[in-house]
Structure 1
Amino acid sequence: MTTDSLKKLALAALLLPAATLPAYAHVGIGPTSSFPAGFMHPLSGLDHLTVMIAVGLWAALKGGKAIWAWPLAFVGVMLGGAALGMAHVPMPFVEPGILASVVVLGLLVALAVDLPVSAGIAIIGVFALLHGHAHGTEVPENAAGLDYMAGFALATIMLHLVGIAAGLASGLKYRVLTRAAGAACAAIGVGLVFGAF
């Protein structure tokens, strides 16, 4: 099997779980219960979806340690932000910050901004805190908090992996495709700011 075939197979394997929903045979579980509701949360909002993929794309562009450090930093700080949101700790500028994160992370990818890994962690961390806080404040009343958090953490990891896989699959030769995806993320962010979506 060629390297290109392996890349395509890996990308398909990463995208397949995101395109499926489990079947539930019992009443009271499903998209309204804890884990599935948490899992669906990042997938149901264009702002969250776009940022999670953009983090993966940017990590793939940077390469090296950033491929694992940036997504893990996002998930870790996001979970901390979710705990703050669930505890009803107020945080200013959550929604404007989330909208800014879509534009900024999209531009970082589109412009192939090459920052030190620690600076990337700081930027990603600020945005992850805001996204996590939003996730935490939006936990359904009947959901178990930890199960809900596990659901959105898993979905976030999967979206990061989709971004990484897409960035790596395009390779250095087609780096322009990854950057174009970043420009699309930034454009989505601008659209969200002006209410186009």
Structure 2
Amino acid sequence: MTLKRILGTLALLLTPALAFAHPGHGDNGLMAGISHPIGGLDHLLAMVAVGLWAAQQQGAARWALPCTFVGTMLIGGVLGFAGLNLPALESGIAASVLALGLAVALAVRPPLSLAVAATALFALFHGVAHGLELPDMSSPWTYAAGFVAA
């Protein structure tokens, strides 16, 4: 095996650790809510993928997918504020990034109901993660406004 392949393999093995990267939450409220999805590569990739996937669709799906993602993410955030933790939360987030990336790469155009259901499921995982990571001394509602705005 060449050095290039060894280094490439090591890089791929280390890549999943990026999904757990949620840089500091030194900000409170609105700014913490904005910085969480932007600073967490897993959340950023999912948001971009939903937008790209929606752009590949026709008709109502162009708006339905992003609106579903944001709305369900907010519901998930409220559930996270209440302490709900989904099983395999980080794995679900990683799977959502992979599935959305594949949907974009393959330009998948499922029926609207299936696309909305998949988007909602993925957004629920992201929202619960946001809610569970509410910084101390932050208002849940200003934090939620921040991650919804992001």
Give the TM-score range, shorter chain: 0.7 to 0.9
- Which residue is 1:118 aligned to? 113
- Which residue is 1:42 aligned to? 37
Which consecutive segments of 4 or more residues in structure 1 shift more than 4 A? none
1:142 pairs with 2:137: yes
d(CA) in 1 for partners of 2:102 and 2:84?
A: 30
Aligned mate of 1:59, from 54, 68, 73: 54
The aligned amino acid for 1:149 is: A
1:132 pairs with 2:119: no
Structure-to-structure mapping, 1:76-91, within 5 angstroms: 76-91=71-86
Please state how far the C-alpha of 1:69 moved relative to its aligned partner.
Answer: 0.5
SS, match of residue 37 in structure 1: helix
d(CA) in 2 for partners of 1:90 and 1:55?
A: 23
d(CA) in 1 for partners of 2:108 and 2:33?
A: 32
TM-score (norm 2): 0.81
Unaligned 5+ runs, structure 1: 1-30, 156-197
Percent identity reads 51
Number of residue pairs aligned between Structure 1 and Structure 2: 125
TM-score (norm 1): 0.62
Unaligned 5+ runs, structure 2: 1-25
d(CA) in 1 for partners of 2:85 and 2:93?
A: 15
The aligned amino acid for 2:64 is: A
